[in-house]
Structure 1
Amino acid sequence: MSQYDYDLLVIGSGPAGESAALNAVKHGQRVAIVEQMATVGGACTHMGTIPSKALRHMVRQAIRFNRTPIFRDIGNPRTLTYPKLLSHANQVIDKQVAMRSRFYYRNQIRLIQGHARFTDTHRLQIISAEGQEEYITAKKFVIATGSRPYRPDNIDFNHPRVYDSDSILAMTNTPRKLLIYGAGVIGCEYASIFSGIGIKVELINTRDRLLEFLDDEISDALSYHLRHLGVMIRHREEYSKVEASDSGVVMSLQSGKQLHADALLWCNGRSGNTHDLGLENIGLEADHRGQLQVDEHYQTAVNNIYAAGDVIGWPSLASAAYDQGRSAAASARGKEHCRFVDDVPTGIYTLPEISSVGKTEGELTAAKVPYEVGRAFFKDTARGQISGETVGMLKLLFHVDTLEILGIHCFGAEAAEIIHIGQVVMKQENGGNTLRYFVTTTFNYPTMAEAYRTAALNGLNRLAGY
């Protein structure tokens, strides 16, 4: 009989925690998972990925309806209120919670509701919502507590007109004008959503351009299409103060400008959820962002404690968190080799969406790698013309000598799906990752996937001798 209650105790039931718990129990370990919220799924299910993408889907459907002439025979253009959009998101959340709850039940993983706090390196104190205390021991732990929006002290987030990316999901009205401070991924996605339902949006970006980690051409396309939706983008601006009243919100910028709106959505940074985990009791310290440092095995500075997901920082994506959780659980049970997740594709669910994998033109130019570009525009594809999704392009970057694919960048409908075709080819070894794959493979017609063949031929046409 083990001296511990469990072999592995996971804190947090988001993507990282769920995958860690399931991986451990599939390998015969005794596992429990602690979740502070009333239902499982973490911020991903309740406040992040799932609700925002469900909102986006409904907005996209409404835009397509309103812009397609044949639907005018059915009825007039439709407008959607924000509360109506939320009702669809809530339906999806309920389905996700039910599905994920079954995972724990079927695999006999004990789910413990409450706030977890370390008392030593092998013991947790768990305080329920009713204030009851329980102490549980485990041989190993995985911290997967996720992150929350960063809230500056000089902004009153208790005011009913001031929101962050969590609390916006509780907004009960549809403002006429919205300020969004922070033009990162979350800010750009919400700018698309709100402008898509006719709300005036001002997007304040503290940097020189939108999403600077993207390929320049893709970033420029995003800026153009957000403006086409009616978004006012202000670059290189920082706030000095925010004043909220019954009549609206006024944001004063350091440049001297004053911006007026009905509400403010703050989307500038996130912090790891480590503030009350009792880290001081186990000799572990989070950085200034509340994030934990881990090695290539997802092990923290305490040898029996691992961490995965948003709580360790980059890339802070649900897709990465699933894989990180599996790797952390594998490392915790003594597996010598695990996958360190450092090659994650980018998926940004703006309108239209963006996805990329590999190097950008800027990175290749700085590294003095001789590359060429192949492009395919969705407006020239039969599938794009049939579906009406004519905005966007697929862009391939490849080595001029070996034809090795170095980067893939996609902007437009279903970009996050389309990118995976190229990602699979890039993963091929022994010379399999080249542009030749796309010109020697027959694609279904008409499909969006055939854009790869078009882009490959376009790129080869730029080279002498082809």
Structure 2
Amino acid sequence: MKHYDVIVIGTGPAGQKGAIQAAKLGKKVAIIEKNNVLGGAQINTGTIPSKTLREAVIQLTGTNRRGLFGEAYRVKKNITVADLMAASQNVIRHEWDVIRGQFERNNIDLIWGAAHFEGPNLLQIVRENETEMLTADKFLVAVGTRPARPDNIPFNGRTVMTSDELLKLDRLPKTMIVVGGGVIGTEYASIMATLGVRVTLVEGRHQVLGFLDQEIAGAFQYFLRQEGITLRLGEKVSAIREVEHDRGVGDTNGNGKGELVQAELESGKKLHAETLLYAVGRQGVCGILGLDNVGITFDDRERLKVTDNYQTNVEHVYAAGDVIGFPALASTSMEQGRRAICHAFGQDVGNYNTALFPYGIYAVPEISMVGKTEEQLTEDGIPYEAGIAGYKELARGKILGDEDGMLKMLIHQETHEILGVHVMGTQATELIHIGQAVMALNGTAEFFINNVFNFPTLAEAYKVAAYNGLNKLAHIR
């Protein structure tokens, strides 16, 4: 029976970085993967495939160049699922190779199979025709989550699906209902609309992406409507079923009948489309790990509660990534996994500012934010001014064909400290890191005034926003 200093369960971002950190500390490490591919949801069903799909859609449709070449501009007239999936699979295969190479270079034992705790330090690995027993001093649980699949939703992976099945479509539908106005729902709704699919988005709240600054969220909703997306806000779905419909004139299937998905809303409205994407929440998967044999408890969504050091209620078992809940980002998961292992082996990594985690929404258009929103500052009684820069003011914005993007900088009225940055438009998730760095160093808006930026760049938006905000404070037009 093999013994390790630490066993990591799951090869997603938290597991990868945790295992590599342990190896860098000279520890004997094993990492367990129950699926037949590496990388967890990040590589196979979530972050990488969805973002690659977005990039492929933007490039093939030419939507990012129409501001420069005109609304009729299009790179490829008839875009197929094969076109989109080819790009995604190419990136996924590359990421598999990268992860495997990292494990090999760091002498991490990669073990395939499903992990099950048989005791506090004893782990059973179950494969198709065999089992294996392993022991370890420490454990890191990084098993991630899966899309929520309520029993009352008739999922079939073909017409009613989660985000996992959406990536396996064999054809592009003409119409789609998206249930859920969170990050996953809005990303896929905007991507599909860019492809020409007629999308209806249903969200129970009166605003999509409720954590965003309201001005940014409002502008984003405007762009969604401009892309032809119908927003059903403040509406909840009461029932979903498949129904027959008359195909009408031109039917070539003989019986004139076809199938549609019907979503009935609590208000009595009935929506119909060829497909329905259910994107309301995610569910943990730690219930199959045998954690009761260790004395570890989890909530009704199979998420684990941890301390600030990522310890569970059992001292030698740590957890990181989506399985511990919010913020459930690939970026934060990586750092959580690393910090968990450092604490497990007595390494001091210092504090890090969780208030400055950047958030990225890879919709069309892209959105990113760091720090406080206007609403939060108002609630906290913090005096601020907003400096605004529109991409239409930037030469680079015109060159890229994006004249609708914007950057908002929230500036303390007295100290001129930067309290929050919110960006919507091309390269938003890259631009945000400039604001994040200046905020982490307690910088003020004057930093952007007194330093030179390359020209023409989108980063110039920071200088424009700083001038705009400070001029308001000085009552200069």
Provide the identity percentage: 45
Offset, 1:289? 1.5
CA distance in 1, matches of 2:325, 2:71: 47
Offset, 1:340? 5.6
Instruction: Pick one of 2, 5, 8 that aligns with 1:7.
Output: 5
CA distance in 1, matches of 2:400, 2:68: 13
Report the residue type matching 2:470 in the other structure: L
Report the residue type matching 2:271 in the other structure: L
**1:265 equivalent in alignment to 2:263:** no
Check whether the contact 1:320–1:341 (CA below 8 A) recurs between aligned residues.
no
Deviations 1:65-114 (A, max 9, x none): 67367599998862312342122111110111111110111111000011
Once the two structures are overlaid, the 10-residue window that deviates more, 68-77 or 229-238, is 68-77
Correspondence for 1:458: 468
**1:441 equivalent in alignment to 2:451:** yes
Correspondence for 1:384: 397
Offset, 1:464? 2.8
Correspondence for 1:151: 149
Runs (4 or more) in structure 1 with deviation over 4 Å come to: 68-77, 336-341
CA distance in 2, matches of 1:6, 1:194: 46
SS in 2 for 1:461: helix
Check whether the contact 1:327–1:339 (CA below 8 A) recurs between aligned residues.
no
Deviations 1:157-199 (A, max 9, x none): 2352111011111111111101110110000000011001101
Offset, 1:335? 2.7
Correspondence for 2:220: 222
Instruction: Pick one of 177, 187, 197 that aligns with 1:189.
Output: 187
Once the two structures are overlaid, the 10-residue window that deviates more, 168-177 or 309-318, is 168-177
1:141 to 1:288, Cα distance in 2 relative to 1, 3 A: same
Offset, 1:279? 1.1
Instruction: Pick one of 218, 229, 237 that aligns with 1:231.
Output: 229
CA distance in 2, matches of 1:299, 1:404: 35
**1:104 equivalent in alignment to 2:123:** no
Instruction: Pick one of 178, 189, 205 that aligns with 2:203.
Output: 205
CA distance in 1, matches of 2:407, 2:39: 33
CA distance in 2, matches of 1:102, 1:409: 37
Deviations 1:14-56 (A, max 9, x none): 0000000000000100000000111211110000000000000
Once the two structures are overlaid, the 10-residue window that deviates more, 56-65 or 35-44, is 56-65
SS in 2 for 1:401: coil
Query: Residues 46-57 of structure 1 correspond to what in structure 2 (within 5 A)?
Result: 46-57=44-55
Correspondence for 1:410: 423
Report the residue type matching 1:267 in the other structure: A
Correspondence for 1:125: 124
Once the two structures are overlaid, the 10-residue window that deviates more, 84-93 or 301-310, is 84-93
**RMSD between aligned residues:** 1.9
1:101 to 1:56, Cα distance in 2 relative to 1, 3 A: same
1:447 to 1:68, Cα distance in 2 relative to 1, 3 A: closer
Instruction: Pick one of 227, 250, 255 that aligns with 2:267.
Output: 255
Instruction: Pick one of 340, 362, 365 that aligns with 1:349.
Output: 362
SS in 1 for 2:62: helix
**1:366 equivalent in alignment to 2:366:** no
1:215 to 1:73, Cα distance in 2 relative to 1, 3 A: closer
Check whether the contact 1:116–1:126 (CA below 8 A) recurs between aligned residues.
yes
CA distance in 1, matches of 2:17, 2:334: 6
Offset, 1:228? 0.9
Correspondence for 1:61: 59
Correspondence for 1:115: 114
Correspondence for 2:83: 84
CA distance in 2, matches of 1:370, 1:289: 39
CA distance in 2, matches of 1:69, 1:451: 19
TM-score (norm 2): 0.93
Report the residue type matching 2:320 in the other structure: A
Check whether the contact 2:68–2:400 (CA below 8 A) recurs between aligned residues.
no
1:264 to 1:189, Cα distance in 2 relative to 1, 3 A: same
Correspondence for 1:395: 408
- Structure 1: gaps spanning 5 or more residues: none
- Structure 2: gaps spanning 5 or more residues: 244-257
SS in 2 for 1:389: coil
CA distance in 1, matches of 2:182, 2:75: 35
Deviations 1:359-378 (A, max 9, x none): 00001111111100101100
Offset, 1:404? 0.5
SS in 2 for 1:170: coil
Check whether the contact 2:60–2:74 (CA below 8 A) recurs between aligned residues.
no
Correspondence for 2:332: 320
1:303 to 1:138, Cα distance in 2 relative to 1, 3 A: same
Correspondence for 1:281: 293
1:340 to 1:220, Cα distance in 2 relative to 1, 3 A: same
TM-score (norm 1): 0.95
Report the residue type matching 1:248 in the other structure: L
1:171 to 1:341, Cα distance in 2 relative to 1, 3 A: farther
1:284 to 1:72, Cα distance in 2 relative to 1, 3 A: closer
Check whether the contact 2:66–2:72 (CA below 8 A) recurs between aligned residues.
no
Check whether the contact 1:176–1:199 (CA below 8 A) recurs between aligned residues.
yes
SS in 1 for 2:472: coil
